[in-house]
Amino acid sequence: QISFPATTSALPLIQAGKLRPLAVTTARRTSFLPSVPTVEETGLGKFDRSSWYGLMAPAGTPKAVIARLNDAVKKALNTPEVKRSFQEQGIDAAGNSPEQFASFIRSELEVNAAIVKSARIKAE
């Protein structure tokens, strides 16, 4: 059997010896499983997919509010408690700017649209 679970759900099973990781789906090895190769390193070709989390606000939210939210999230991500909790779950948290996140979302949409198109997936 093969599965592509998020690190958050797979890491406890891997640590307990109940799941054997074959590869990580990110472009680089993860610090949580440094001995596990990437999909590309296994010879299966380029592959870079990962789970991610982000905070969004309604369209039209004032830039000052967005900036305050972004600052608060970055501050929280840098506290020892949050860092430790995320590391225990296999989450590599990295805050970025609203502009960087918007660019990332656009990129994800393009990649996923290409996958859907090449697989000829149609809504039913």
pLDDT digits (tens, 9 = 90+) for 36-58: 999 999 999 888 888 888 999 99
38 - beta bridge partners? Answer: 24
SS3 state at 24? strand
Q: Does domain 1-51 have CATH number 3.40.190.10?
A: yes
50-to-2, 9, 62, 120 alpha-carbon distances in Å: 16, 13, 30, 22
Residue 91 near residue 10 (C-beta atoms within 8 A): no
Q: Where are the domains of the chain?
A: 1-51, 54-124
**How is residue 103 written in tokens?**
């660019």
pLDDT digits (tens, 9 = 90+) for 17-36: 999 999 999 889 988 889 99
Question: Using CA atoms, how far apart are residues 65 and 70, in angstroms rounded to an integer?
Answer: 9
Residue 50 near residue 56 (C-beta atoms within 8 A): no
pLDDT digits (tens, 9 = 90+) for 97-113: 999 999 999 999 999 99
